[in-house]
Structure 1
């Protein structure tokens, strides 16, 4: 029997009240969800800043369904005391995107598929005794992943990608204040990494521009490493690097300085069971030396006149070398090994005797192996 108009009119207010009540409930749930979300993001913000240490700053965290985005990240450096850092910051990044593996939430290992760093900056220091220090606020503090003391959390990083930005390398082993080398337009990939054991094979690749006084050069590194076992296979390729910027590695204090010139370097380094084997090739192009030192002066331990004559004749000098030695031998110094090999190769290519031991380009490479 069809309902009467009066009954229909009576149901309308009830329907309206039901819809209004549902809307109110949804609104309340929405407010609670928004408040809960903001509290969760704030808690994540606080935990991240605690994990990064007291000198860290985190501008904003944006949590999505598939990734967490950290904006305006900064770790300031300690500028005073015996551990004073030569740069204002250890790390900066305008944007860091972390893509977790959601399937690992219930496992004992935190699995992260990808970390992307955009427009970042990182500084590295090679100390006077040859040790390479990176992010001491994190790696030298003894904290674990949650900022507390105790058992470190196992973390698997599928890949860390660095796009844009700069790296500054300070080397206190060649002079004081520390020599600064700056890499820009970085494009780097590292992974996978298993922390804290570092017992998996990690792929490495980095491209960048090495800033110079007169010209900029290209840097390419690629290979793989098992950091926990100190095993490395690394290909290094430097193209058109400014010799003026590198001359603290090439010259002794008493030798003639470099007026201009460029360096190309290719080297295939392997470290296995603490033994280094690294054949390489160096090309010096357009080398001009300052007049200091006169006819008795030297360059890289070789008589200056022989270097000038060879450069005038060919416009370039090519030499081969091979670095060898045990890294766990306290008498082995990669600085001296590289210096001797480059000086010997230079002397052989010019047909003269070695005049002394030099500081070689391997000072930079030495930092990789920590001695």
Structure 2
């Protein structure tokens, strides 16, 4: 290639680069103009900066409705970086290449009926606030970095119970809103805070929200049993002094049929005194639990969940409770009398439905 050809090639590259930068700025400008409307009336933004590759939002806050939410804020984020895709310029809806949330906070509410509510200011806005058909948004990648989550669970006995997750790192995507008809990859890790120690939680795999098809692996390691007392204890049972819980689960859902083998391990469990000779833990005779802990230092129970998610008679809680009850009774050498009910109370708190 001669010198003039090189100059022509460089000029073409320069023109394409300028066009790409200009297109990104135009797409970012469109995104900024729609941001305030999309976030709703309870949202506030510190500053919006438009750069060469996208938009940076600082000090984003979505306040909770006074008296209707257990926390002051639904969402707080020190920095949100949005990089729009060039396809937003010619395609219907919004196409976002990447959203990264840094140093954030999110509050969740599990109602007394077991329904999980997330960002009601955005996801539960009255129809009167809508301006026509909901816009289509496709997020290729959503990254969460150093995010804290408070889960307020009103479904347990004794009032609302709070679980605190910290140092959450997650990569999720793509997300096609509102259809949710694409497989979404999930890679999540977080710390579950406890009064005596913190445990780790990890989830990875894929999940299609619209069809419920999934291939997910979940691991819980070293979670403080004291933090889980509302899920472990029946009304008249004594409390937990110390101990940890590990759980592993490999879940597959295809055509709405669930197959999920897993294992639960209780380690170093110590129970508070009280209840007499007939006392129980999770519906299991207390003396059998203490004897197993003294002998082995841990209790391990395997199980497999199976059933159709669209079958009204199928409940994940009841299915898991039955499986765990059988395994727990076999491990401890006790009868099944009263075990199903006790273990069911644990699972209802942890998983819902």
TM-score by length of 1: 0.82
The reply on whether 1:89 has 2:76 as its aligned counterpart is no
Is the CA contact (8 Å cut-off) linking 2:317 and 2:351 kept in structure 1?
no
Is the CA contact (8 Å cut-off) linking 1:45 and 1:58 kept in structure 2?
no
Which residue, 337, 350, 353 being the options, matches 1:364?
Answer: 350
1:161 is matched with: 143
When residues 142 and 149 of structure 1 are mapped into structure 2, their CA distance, relative to the original with a 3 A threshold, is: farther
1:241 is matched with: 223
The reply on whether 1:101 has 2:89 as its aligned counterpart is no
CA distance in 2, matches of 1:310, 1:177: 32
Question: Over aligned residue pairs, what C-alpha RMSD do you find?
Answer: 2.1
1:272 is matched with: 254
Of 121-130 and 328-337, deviating more is 328-337
Is the CA contact (8 Å cut-off) linking 2:260 and 2:304 kept in structure 1?
yes
Which residue, 226, 247, 263 being the options, matches 2:208?
Answer: 226
- Shift in Å at residue 216 of structure 1? 0.4
1:263 is matched with: 245
CA distance in 2, matches of 1:206, 1:91: 19
1:124 is matched with: 108
The reply on whether 1:59 has 2:41 as its aligned counterpart is no
Where does 1:172-183 land on structure 2 (aligned, <5 Å)? Answer: 172-183=154-165
1:30 is matched with: none
Is the CA contact (8 Å cut-off) linking 2:230 and 2:349 kept in structure 1?
no
Residue segments in structure 1 that go unaligned for 5+ positions in a row: 1-36
- Shift in Å at residue 336 of structure 1? 3.0
1:22 is matched with: none
What per-residue deviation string (whole Å, max 9, x for no partner) do you get for residues 145-174 of structure 1?
A: xx6432122221110000002011111111
Could you say which structure has the larger radius of gyration? Answer: 1
Is the CA contact (8 Å cut-off) linking 2:267 and 2:297 kept in structure 1?
yes
Is the CA contact (8 Å cut-off) linking 1:186 and 1:207 kept in structure 2?
yes
Q: How many residue pairs end up in the alignment?
A: 323
When residues 44 and 280 of structure 1 are mapped into structure 2, their CA distance, relative to the original with a 3 A threshold, is: closer
Which residue, 276, 282, 288 being the options, matches 1:294?
Answer: 276
- Shift in Å at residue 177 of structure 1? 2.6
TM-score by length of 2: 0.86
CA distance in 1, matches of 2:278, 2:198: 32
